[in-house]
Structure 1
């Protein structure tokens, strides 16, 4: 009892000291700590840690006799831009997964990247999309004897209903692999999930509070976010209009960071960035989003995805009008740094200068004919360059 009394006295003393300390703090001016610009390392996955662990548990678990040696297929289902590809690639890059599977194959049906343990990464296939199961099997046949007789992980990216039929023809080929082999599928179509042998991983849009944290790191560039309540409110409203799109946070945040003034932010808020479709492969969304941010003298002619940046390209926030009549610019819209590759989304734009006139354009003949009347040619999309 004496010991208990002593403990109570100590706690009361500490509590009393804390009251004095809190009173002292109330008389001090608050010092706001700015948001660090390097809060996210390039290529680092934001959130999705629970989903990642669920996937890894599926990949590493043999399943036991109850599975009958059946090839395990796990679908990852979610809308455009929620992070399916990012999640799948980070799972493949996890050390536990790399050590468990002698070979990991990652395919988007245009090319297949093969990562064999202890060997350099190599790419199979061509730049042209493979639309026939027999051709795909022919491409994979070079791996069958050396790798596919072992335990493997095969990942198919962006599977739609057309590719689902092709996968159904491919699955018997993969069932010859060693017990414990796995297949992962990423898709935005719930109908494709029926290929799974287990319940799918369903990715939803990030809750606003988590997404707001991600958006701030891109838009505020290390500035004190509480320095100007009006900027904070405008930024929050812009983030809500983007509906949890990671592409949106990167593209819009990059432009806002370059123009840290309330008038510009309100202009972005009043644009149509929130009324865009999140369906499809993401290119349409990215192009439409960029059109709302480009100056009125710029028009998107083409959007390309490449694995390396163009030598001469400009930032979206740095586009300027040409001095003469017509100019052209390659505008970097967004960069996705992933464990297995980096992707650069670039808009090829035509720019109208002060001397531009439709009549002059027509006189120039075929060189500029396709630009009249400088309307967006959409969608004209190039494949990923391997």
Structure 2
């Protein structure tokens, strides 16, 4: 009997020692790979930052640049997930360890492939002209809509600086994308670029509704850039008359048309540039950089967990990422949790009522229910956002979104304006929503909501 007990005990001890050695070896292997990933990301990010400050005119280099940027953000995302899981631990540690190693190995393989073929890209990059740094590119680089879009920025600048295919027929570049993905901000960035400004005598901004009023006398004989914002489709005859007037502009003039309507791209003489929401990896990176600021995320694993979940819940909204990051930067973990719980409830409420995510509803110009975001006894519906005109005057009470979600303001009993976000860079848009405060569904349907005013793009 003693021999059997001794054998069982010996086998148990051997298995336990083997388990500890395997776990220790696995942990050491994970740490080694994480260090390799960190070093690769440092190298790749350095090249990305250098490329962002150069004029890249080679289309194949731009495609390579896009791949490098994508791999970089995937790398940061995986590194962040693994660090968080390692810090927080789990009841399914062995299963999670296998997942971590697989994710890490795949990411390492992808980055090492990129790094091994990057030599030619770096060599060619040395021959590209440097851009003049702008104040908001450096100091406020992440605190605005200009995050990412490296390839699109370069493409627009390249097209604007090229000669027209037909010397006296302006090139027409369509920029198409859903609402609030940064189309107008991309245009504002390009129009503020030093080379673009020096290339054109003037930059004229128009609304699509006004093109029928434009005559050839409206344009100078110099090389100009015309930006037309379309909020609705227009018939071909109106466009033909407008374009004919534009042919009286100087040689090398260009036209940019901006719209969320895909059909507008038919007016283009070159391929349209399509803007879409950022990938989840890019969006998550942006949110955490904005939310944590100078704070080290590794010192706040609970906040990282909240930020990871919220970056998914926000659905890729540029406005929301700035709003929530601004709130989080000034507050502690208790508010982060408070906001996360509210946002979860709000999303569940809208899925239950409208069967869609709030961001998608707003993109379709549909109202959303935000009752769960506020301490209010009466239901609240947020109407689709609009850009407030500097000259518009309304009698409704204004409420800042940061105060609204933090419960630091008394909710008005009547309809009010919710100031969601004010952009700090051109075109300095202020996102304003009307909130309908109603006690029953009948009152809601009969509520008069002021018509949206589209902000005119001015240089």
Instruction: Give the TM-score taking structure 1 as reference length.
Output: 0.64
- Tell me how far apart the structure 1 counterparts of residues 429 and 364 of structure 2 sit (CA, whole Å): 12
Q: Please report how far the alpha carbon of residue 152 of structure 1 lies from its aligned counterpart in structure 2 after TM superposition.
A: 0.8
For residues 290 and 415 of structure 2, the distance between their equivalents in structure 1, rounded to whole angstroms, comes to: 27
Q: Does 1:293 align with 2:293?
A: no
Partner of 1:101: 200
3-state SS of the aligned residue for 1:184? strand
User: CA separation in 2, counterparts of 1:90 and 1:234?
Assistant: 32
2:359 matched to 1:271?
no
User: How far apart in 1 are the matches of 2:408 and 2:444?
Assistant: 15
Q: Higher strand proportion, which one?
A: 1
Contact 2:175 2:273 in 1 (8 A): yes
List gaps (5 residues or longer) in structure 1: 1-21, 23-37, 110-128, 359-370
Shift in Å at residue 349 of structure 1? 4.5
2-structure distance, mates of 1:227, 1:376: 51
- Listed as ranges, the matches of 1:326-337 within 5 Å are 326=413, 329-337=416-424
Structure 2: segments with no counterpart, 5+ residues: 1-34, 36-138, 351-355
For residues 155 and 41 of structure 1, what CA distance do their matches in structure 2 show? 26
Counterpart contact for 2:371–2:381, Cα < 8 Å: yes
Structure 2: how far apart are the matches of 1:191 and 1:304?
Answer: 22
Per the alignment, residue 235 of structure 1 pairs with 307
Q: How far apart in 2 are the matches of 1:252 and 1:330?
A: 18
Equivalent position SS for 1:260: helix
Instruction: State the match for 2:387 in structure 1.
Output: 305
Tell me the matched-pair count.
Answer: 304
Q: Residue 323 and residue 101 in structure 1: after superposition, are their counterparts in 2 closer, same or farther (change >3 A)?
A: closer
- What are the superposed Cα offsets for residues 137-169 of structure 1, whole Å, 9 maximum, x if unpaired? 15x74x33xx2x111110112454236663333
Asked if the contact 1:79–1:279 (Cα under 8 Å) also holds between the matched residues in 2, the reply is no
Match runs of 1:1-386 below 5 Å: 40=141, 45-63=146-164, 67-109=166-208, 130=210, 133-134=211-212, 136-137=213-214, 141=217, 143-144=218-219, 147=220, 149-162=221-234, 166-220=238-292, 222-256=294-328, 260-272=335-347, 275-276=357-358, 278=360, 284=365, 288=368, 293-297=373-377, 299=380, 305-308=387-390, 313-319=398-404, 326=413, 329-339=416-426, 341-349=427-435, 373=443, 377=447, 380-384=450-454
The alignment's TM-score, normalised by the length of structure 2, stands at 0.55
Greater alpha carbon shift after TM alignment, 305-314 vs 80-89: 305-314
Specify which structure has the higher proportion of helix.
Answer: 2
1:186 is paired with a residue whose SS is: strand
What is the root-mean-square deviation in Å for CA atoms of aligned residues? 4.0
CA displacement 1:108-145 (0-9 Å, x = unmatched): 34xxxxxxxxxxxxxxxxxxx54xx54x215x74x33x
Change (3 A) 1:42 1:239: closer
Distance 2:382 2:261 in 1: 29
For the residues of structure 1 that align with 2:411 and 2:285, how far apart are their CA atoms? 43
